Amino acid sequence: MIHHQQSSVSSAYEAQPTQSKSNVDVLQSLLTEVLNVDAFNLNSFLLSFLRKIDHSLPLDDFYNILYNPMRFDDLRSLPSIDKVDKTFPSDSFTSTISIIQRVLEAFRSPESYSTHVSSGRESDMKSSNVNFHELLRSLLAIKILDHSLIEVDSSDTKVEYPPIPRLDIYKVYYILCQKLILKYPTSSNSTSLQQKLIFGQSKLGKLIKLVYPNLVSKRLGRRGESRYNYLGVRWNQDVVDKEITKLCESELFEIAEMFKVSKKTSGSAQSRSSRHQRTLEARSTKKRYSTDSLRPENLEVKAQGTFVEPHHFFPKGAFTSKAYLDEKLNENIEKNWFAATLKLSSDALLSLGVSSAEINGLIFDEGSSSDTDDHLLRGVIDTLIPKLLGSPDQPRIYLHLYMVISLNVFPHLLSLRKPLHTDSIKRLFSRVTYLIQNMETEMVSVAGEKMRQQDIRNFLGILSRMIHLNKLLAAFFKADLQAYILMEMQEDIVRILNEGSKDGPNETHRLISEACISVTLACRYKPQFRGVPVRENIREFLSESCHIMEKMVSEDLAQFVSNIMESGVPSTREDSHDALKFRFLLATLKLVDEGILNENMKSRFPAQVIRGFYSRVTIQILQFTYRAHASMLGGRTLSPANPTFRLWYVLESFIQEYLDVLAELNSLHLKTIE
């Protein structure tokens, strides 16, 4: 069967004069391997793929094959001096391009490719399960790593090359990605969407080990300031020039600031980008050496694409989405953050003629015959925005609009409010999704000095998190919640609490202590309590914080499972949800409200740090439970090997996304009143 497929490929490519016999063999081999590629061996295949084709292919051309295939012929004509990568292509350039395009097409359209192999059975193709977007990201990252570094022959003692800091490799990768994005804007994605092709440091670290498995790393530097460095490699100067190595002297967040370029057209951006970058680089360098506020110990790190600032704390008192269960929500404003916030923003809009009823009509549209996905988007752009353009409170008035839309959508996607029918939920889901996908593009003509483009992106980010939360909730309700699984979850908690040496701290204390220290350092957070800086007894402050988080695991998490197993459930929800599954949702919200976001933690740490704590601790707990179950199997294979792992994973993902939504809503509100 495979032999027949190879013959057909061979005949197709022998007809092309640019293809040599060896290239045909390479293509046949690669297309055969594609059949067995899945998410687990994808990166290994991609590295093998790159090693089999012409290594001299410049990064510019490689990037445009991946992200600008329709404009590739026009872009390849640029002279080498104008490209990011100055490597001169070899004579096999054309055939190499052809091979890459054919392999990418096999992944892009596995259903059509499968008609030529495996007797047309797509199920035989593991590659049909590969996420094409992830494939492109990984392929570009591996190409950059493989092309920007050159391994040094250990026997060559004539030249000594300095070690390369591990962080510098990530900086070079990040800079090259940004340069390619700015120089070659895609026809289908905005610059902000293109940013999603860049991996984080952890993921790139794994790819470094894949591309250079024998690379030697060593900690160099003074005690307390040492950093990991790689030995035995040097920069490829055709790719990593002096400008890039100079940029690596800046902090990563400074480099990110340098590349915050908003392009009106690709032509104007290309003509200005190099001057803009050099200006920002000089400005950043000057600030770094002359301004105390930019010293590392004083810096506050803010993530991109978010309203959350490093100094934003969660609000005191009741801050729970369970408030939406109160049918008299708007009558309890003093006791309810959500109701008070909704009223504040609604009143601001009402003063300009935008009523809550009008916004709800666009979101839910229960009395209209319109059933189009763009109904909400068109209503916002054509009806609401024109009423707000004359407001003297610019650009804050748009933040109020984002808040009202978010707070009206949130409870329905979280299944905490009625009267939405299943069809209405689907309609809401479709309209919000359409808004997320199209609003930024549609608002280009409107956005300007009065309406910040970044605020639009942050708002759409909130809605995207809510959509993801809805999907995780669906996974919740599909979860297998049989009694034996709930009992096994209780046993998981007991194992975590009991793990560790008898004479020293248990596993929970160790995990939480490590998380507390690493997250506070990563966020460069200076401890404070109820707004008062903690200048003395910082160790005691952190120790108390660890004990609070440890209580969350030992008591609140255990109580969470007990709450699910209890019989009580609000009678008003019996018709809407299966009782057990709705208890799961309520127990989860209670775990967040009373455990993770207890008053003590909210007084000690800002939202950014609390989210970091939770993420770090839960990852460690998931790894521990997985190892514990694997150890109990003792080499035996049972199905399922770990019946609780999937449930824990869905739970932790749901809570993480839920915390993110709460943090974003809180910060959006803070920006409306600052």
The full set of domain ranges for the chain reads 2-151, 164-298, 321-476, 478-673
Answer whether 549's CB lies under 8 Å from 555's CB. Answer: no
- Residue 246: how many CB atoms within 10 A of its CB? 11
- The predicted model scores a pTM of 0.55
Band of the pLDDT at 19, cuts 50, 70, 90?
A: very low
Kindly state the average pLDDT of the residues 12-28.
54
Angle between helices 93-108 and 132-148 in degrees, nearest 10 = 150
Burial classification of residue 69, based on how many CB atoms lie within 10 Å of its CB (0-12 exposed, 13-18 middle, 19 or more buried) = middle
Q: Determine the average pLDDT of the residues in 655-663.
A: 90
Among 379, 404, 401, smallest CA distance to 452 is for 401
What integer best gives the mean pLDDT of the chain?
75
Rounded (5°) CA angle 107-109-113: 90
pLDDT at site 182: 85
How does pLDDT run across 476-535, given as a tens digit for each residue?
777 666 777 778 887 887 777 776 545 555 667 777 777 777 777 777 777 776 667 777
Contact of 329 with 338, CB cutoff 8 Å:
yes
Both structure tokens of 70: 């329709």
Give the pLDDT band of residue 304 (cuts 50, 70, 90): very low
3-state SS, residue 79:
coil
pLDDT digits (tens, 9 = 90+) for 91-144: 777 888 888 888 888 888 766 555 444 444 444 555 567 788 889 999 999 999
- Which residues have a Cβ under 8 Å from the Cβ of 370 and sit 6 or more positions away? none
Residues 6 or more apart whose Cβ sits within 8 Å of residue 223: none
Distance, in Å, from the CA atom of 612 to the CA atom of 521, rounded to the nearest integer, reads 11
Which token pair is 465? 């998190």
CA–CA distance, 562 with 515 (Å, rounded to integer)? 26
Collapsing DSSP to helix, strand or coil, 16 comes out as coil
CA nearest 24: which of 115, 127, 98? 98
Per-residue DSSP letter, 233? E
Distance CA(355)–CA(347), nearest Å, equals 8
CA-derived radius of gyration, the chain: 28
**Residue 393 DSSP class:** S
State which H helix or E strand residue 220 sits in.
Answer: strand 216-220
Provide, for the chain, the percentages of residues in helix, strand and coil under a 3-state DSSP scheme, each rounded to the nearest 5: 65, 5, 30
CA-wise closest residue to 359 among 350, 351, 372: 350
Q: Is the pLDDT of residue 394 over 70?
A: yes
CA 542 to chain CA centroid, Å, is 29
N residues, the chain: 674
